[in-house]
Structure 1
Amino acid sequence: MSAVVPPSVAENSEAEALFRFETDAPEDVRLALGMNAARIGDAVVLSMRNDSTRFWSKALGFGRAEPVTAELIAEVCAFYRAEGAQMAVFQLAPSVIPEDWTEICAREGITAGATLVKLVAEVDEVVARADAPDRRRVDGVRVAPVEPGDADRWASVMLRVFGMPDKHYTGMVTASVGHPDWYPQALWLGDELVGTGTMYHVGGTAQMFAGAVLPHARNRGGQSELLAARARMAGKLGCRLLIAETGAETDGSRNPSLHNMLHLGFRVAYERKNWLWQRGQGD
């Protein structure tokens, strides 16, 4: 890739996408799930008190404009305590972790969790690779923008792949369909909706989000087609960069999503640890 992407740009893309995805949920959904959000320092802080999946309470976007300090982390943890959250995930690019991070973690009850890979790509390169005559084409599947009448079905497939329940969460997911900054795509196998992916447009970047394919429809090239469709849309919007995240490979494991993105021209920008905060017994 010809340009080096600063971590602040890569983190901003993800943080703003997740902030919009959660805060645009309907009020009844927000109340049922115990959702709240704040901007503390330059971080996006998202809380979902009644989240049975333990996924959606996240603090991210740190270090975009100001350093990470013990005082900042303490303020974020205080927010989660006030919200009654049982746990949350802190996501910080390696370059913004302060020298006293070990001491901060010990003080606040933060421990290391799974490792993610942050990927970046130039839109033009991904589109060129996707449209190359010698690229293997999909086997019986097609990608199309999500129509309003398919929003519930699209949301249900996404949640099913990620092991999340439909109740309340469907309302959060479908709120992004029709939003002017979101571009949801559906993967179809005949008349069956079998895969999902969406993209958030912020400035000159496009954030890849919620790529998911049902097990029986995998190994047909569908995920690559979902990536390609979003890259083409990003090009039409004037975006220069694509940003994505996926799980890191460890102990001989293989992540097909990672390899699909690498094959289309994404590059690993850095690996980023999930840092887990859990509510203490005395909180």
Structure 2
Amino acid sequence: MTTTVPSDFAELTEITAYIDFATSAPASVQQALGLGTLHAGPTRALAVRQDPSHFFNRAGGLGTDRPLNDDLVRVCDFYQRQGVAQGSIMIAPHLLPSGWRATASGLGLTQGSRFVKLGRDLETTSLPTGLPVLDGGRRVGVVESRHAREWATVMQTTFGFTTPEMIEMAASFVGRANWRQYAVWEGGRIVAVGSVFFHGECAHMFAGATVPDARCRGAQTALLAARLGAAAAEGCRWIVAETGAEGPGEHNPSLHNMLRAGFEPMYERTDWHWHA
């Protein structure tokens, strides 16, 4: 592994992207979703009480520049105050202290899913220029405000988030500073989406999704290339992403798309779940 992305910066960029995404929603939508955030030094946490999947209840940045235990307690207390049933805590594996199993057990944390953290150096590798060209009458383009509702609907419903408030939350961050949203159109219909978040020297790939009838035709590969080019043009030094780790006999197409796009695995990370 030759990527030089600092893991603490990679983790902080990820959680910052999620919080910036969610808090772009109007106050009325945030209130309807029961949205809350925590900032404690480098530690960040997001809670969305009306998200039945608990996906957006997540915390990161822990253990990067101070003892882990105090921030763990802060995050657990935050989830408790927000009234969520479950929240995820993301910690890079090399930041876990000795005796971690006992610590996790004492806080009631359980092991969740495994993810691969990937990075790519934008200064030492060749990058695509311009927007990719697709066949079959499909095209890649930057999303404008007039496409925000359709784009957000594709993004959220593909991931299983179908309520009006969840779609409004996604529509609200189209055009937000430090973000770029892309889509693949087939005729006049958006069939694939992807975003990139700019966080100083580090960019973060966010929420790539393709509708079922348009998969396996290169849409996500094209969106990866477009976002890589955007991050380099923005002056970012690195770009990071995460996707599900593969178990025996499993195949994650998103992981292999990113590997082909020049990303390198940094580490596998387990999400630790807090329960009310």
**Aligned pair partner of 1:201 in 194, 198, 201:** 198
1:145–1:183 CA contact under 8 A, matched in 2? yes
Give the aligned length.
273
1:41–1:72 CA contact under 8 A, matched in 2? no
The reply on whether 1:151 has 2:141 as its aligned counterpart is: no
1:60–1:92 CA contact under 8 A, matched in 2? yes
Distance across 1 between alignment mates of 2:77 and 2:183: 39
CA RMSD, Structure 1 to Structure 2 (Å)? 1.7
2:4–2:121 CA contact under 8 A, matched in 1? no
The reply on whether 1:234 has 2:231 as its aligned counterpart is: yes
1:117–1:272 CA contact under 8 A, matched in 2? yes
Deviation at 1:139, TM superposition (A): 3.4
Secondary structure class of the residue paired with 1:156: helix
Structure 1 residues 217 and 122, CA gap change in structure 2 (3 angstroms): same
**Aligned pair partner of 1:245 in 242, 245, 263:** 242
Partner of 1:50: 50
1:126–1:264 CA contact under 8 A, matched in 2? no
Give the 5 Å matches for 1:1-283: 3-69=3-69, 71-123=70-122, 128=127, 130=128, 138-140=134-136, 141-279=138-276
Deviation at 1:41, TM superposition (A): 4.0
Amino acid at match of 2:4: V
Q: Deviations over 1:76-122 (max 9, x none)?
A: 11111111111100110001111132122212111001100000012
Give the stretch that moved more between structures: 5-14 or 154-163: 5-14
Distance across 2 between alignment mates of 1:125 and 1:152: 37
- Taking structure 1 as the reference length, what is the TM-score of the superposition? 0.91
Distance across 1 between alignment mates of 2:157 and 2:232: 30
- Taking structure 2 as the reference length, what is the TM-score of the superposition? 0.94
Deviation at 1:191, TM superposition (A): 1.3
Deviation at 1:63, TM superposition (A): 2.3
Deviation at 1:2, TM superposition (A): 5.1
Secondary structure class of the residue paired with 1:220: coil
2:43–2:62 CA contact under 8 A, matched in 1? yes
Unaligned runs of 5+ in 1: none
